[in-house]
Structure 1
Amino acid sequence: MESRGLASYSNIVISREKKAKRRELLEKKKALDELIKAASSEKDHLISFPPFCHYNRNGLSVFLECGSGDKLTSSVKQYIQNLLKVNMEVPFGPEWPTEEKVKRRDMVASEARYIFVHEAPNASVDDMSMKLDKSPLVGFVHYRFTLEEEIPVLYVYEIQLESRVQGKGLGKFLMQLIELIARKYCMGAVVLTVQKANAVAMNFYTSKLRYTISSISPSRVDPLMGLEKNYEILCKAFNHEAKSTLEG
């Protein structure tokens, strides 16, 4: 009787522990979902970073503007498609037609967030809003707030610049802004995908910006599978949990 009583008590304790653990996991998931929702619902991620609303260096003057995938005009959609084709058709090679369809679908998703880069050679900060409507686009960043391995991250889907504005420090400037936005909204890391064939981009992220190949990248999950994949997943983590999970 005594042993049966102890066993019954033990089962009760275990059951309570399981319920407590389940409740803890549900509460954590709810908190993460709310974190992602709060970050995504902000209409203007530039508002907290006035110095990053314009870039005027190395003979290049541009202004930045925020946007979302479900509010793109037809002309902006066409611009994005054209720039993606110009910049990415060669790195993707024969896979491009299939990948292009995926990118077209991704770019108009409601969760897609954008930073548009407008050229404004003669603009000043004071007349920025007026200039944005008239100044041509020269690039964009497409990013989203999401979860990777239960870690909240800012995932950079695209950072695309026209060739004439490359090599002037603008790409680094935009990635610095992205990292600030990620930190502002309590993301654990910035994550992005790079084609192995795009040696310039790979060097840019790993050497200049100190991104590392993530533990969720195919080459680290399974080296044999990694050989078959034409991309790597890179990340830069901002806290211990994210470093442990995404950098390994």
Structure 2
Amino acid sequence: MKSQAEVTMGLATHSGSGSRRSGSRTAKDTVLCTLAHAYAVTDCTLTLDDDANLGNRLFGSSDDNFKVRVGALSSFTASQQRELFEVLQQNMAPFYGAHSWKTKMARQKKKESKQTDARFAAVFDTQHANDEKLAAFMQFRFVEEEGEPVVYIYELQVQANYQTQGLGKKLVALAEQQGNRANQALTSAPPLTKVMLTVHKSNERARAFYRRLGFDVDDISPAKSDAEGDDAGYYDYEILSKPFS
């Protein structure tokens, strides 16, 4: 069993040669319909909303220090993309180890970020002396996990000098908001069931942060799914989730 953060899964279009389908194929198609719908709703609402308005919704109209931009990686400038990866490296390389990061993980993270179904929400500090400065970002997707349509947070990273200002909490709220919007617009397809993410066991600060936001260990996390097997202690991560109300 691998978590969604380990396996890149894009949206796919299914076509059949006949009218007969198995129950599992039909269930798969309905989940894919939900995911496609969620992307359509999210991309439409975010396209219609400029950066300032989105920032006001998240931070309040009285705070104009931050601007939020959401889109695929290609919608950000080259310098902004470099900032994204610099923050990612600064925060996560210590958890993977220098050798693993240089030889494997940096390349894997960049590949994941360029997938067509990856969406980034980036918070920029507009009060920076020279130019807008990246303060925090989130990478999220709408994916299928164990047969259920979910919002999966691939990355949630905050610059060291912007931590404890509530930026991470606001970005998680944005992921939940987009999932709820998609669910409200659904008619026949099954709704998105929860927000999911993967966190290193050694990252106690992050684990405590997510617990405060209402996340709990998901049933597919190795701590639960392999509880009676020999591999539970092998994994260095947990899969957390928070159901939509």
TM-score, structure 1 normalization: 0.74
- Say whether residues 1:113 and 2:119 are aligned partners: yes
Give a deviation string over 1:34-88, Cα, whole Å, max 9, x none. Answer: 211122244255458857545269x992111111034443323221221111001
Question: Which structure has greater helix proportion?
Answer: 1
Counterpart position of 2:132:
135
1:104 is aligned to 2:110: yes
Please say which structure displays the higher CA radius of gyration.
1
Amino acid at match of 1:180: Q
Relative CO higher for 1 or 2, CA cutoff 8 Å, sep ≥ 6?
A: 2
1:171 aligns with 2:134: no
| Equivalent position amino acid for 1:39 in 2 | A
Which residue is equivalent to 2:194?
Answer: 189
Q: Distance in 1 between matches of 2:226 and 2:217?
A: 13
Measure how far apart 1:180 and its partner are: 1.4
| 2:212 is equivalent to residue 201 of structure 1 | no
Moved more, 145-154 or 44-53: 44-53
Q: Does 1:61 align with 2:65?
A: yes
Number of the residue aligned with 1:90: 94
Identity of aligned residues (%): 27
Contact kept, 8 Å, 1:118 with 1:138, in 2: the verdict is yes
SS of corresponding position for 1:194: strand
Residue deviations 1:108-166, cap 9 Å, x none? 111100111111239xxxxxxxxxxx522222110000001111000000011111111
State the 1:219 CA deviation. 1.6
Q: Distance in 2 between matches of 1:140 and 1:192?
A: 15
* 1:77 aligned onto 2:77: no
In 2: Cα distance, 1:189 partner to 1:56 partner: 26
Deviation at 1:30, TM superposition (A): 2.0
Q: Which amino acid aligns with 1:178?
A: A
Question: Per-residue displacement from partner, 1:165-204 (whole Å, max 9, x unpaired)?
Answer: 1101121121112111112222210000001111100110
Contact 2:72 2:118 in 1 (8 A): yes
Q: Displacement of 1:95 after TM fit?
A: 3.3
Matched, 1:32 2:31: yes
Pair 96,197 (structure 1): closer, same or farther in 2 beyond 3 Å: farther
Question: Any unmatched runs of 5+ in structure 2?
Answer: 1-19, 184-191
Task: Kindly report structure 1 stretches of 4+ aligned residues shifted beyond 6 Å.
Answer: none
TM-score, structure 2 normalization: 0.75
Report the Cα distance in structure 2 between the residues aligned to 1:110 and 1:26, rounded to whole angstroms.
24
Q: Secondary structure at the match of 2:65?
A: strand
Cα distance in structure 2, aligned partners of 1:82 and 1:55:
25
What's 1:43 paired with? 43
Instruction: Specify the code of the residue in structure 2 equivalent to 1:32.
Output: V
Aligned length: 208
Distance in 2, Cα, partners of 1:74 & 1:222 = 42
- Structure 2: distance between partners of 1:165 and 1:56: 18
- SS of equivalent residue, structure 1 residue 185: helix
Is contact 2:84-2:134 (8 Å) kept?
A: no
> In the aligned structure 2, how far is the partner of 1:199 from the partner of 1:26?
40
- List alignment gaps of at least 5 residues for structure 1: 1-20, 123-133, 240-248
State the one-letter code of the partner of 2:194. Answer: A
With over 3 angstroms needed to count, the CA separation of the structure-2 counterparts of 1:44 and 1:174, relative to structure 1, is: farther
Q: Contact between 1:72 and 1:108, CA under 8 Å: does it hold in 2?
A: no
In 2, the alpha carbon distance for the partners of 1:51 and 1:145 equals 22
Measured at CA, do residues 191 and 118 of structure 1 come closer, stay the same or move farther in structure 2, by a change above 3 Å? same
Separation (CA, whole Å) in 2 of partners of 1:100 and 1:200 = 22
Partner secondary structure for residue 205 of structure 2: helix
Q: Which residue of 2 aligns with 1:147?
A: 144
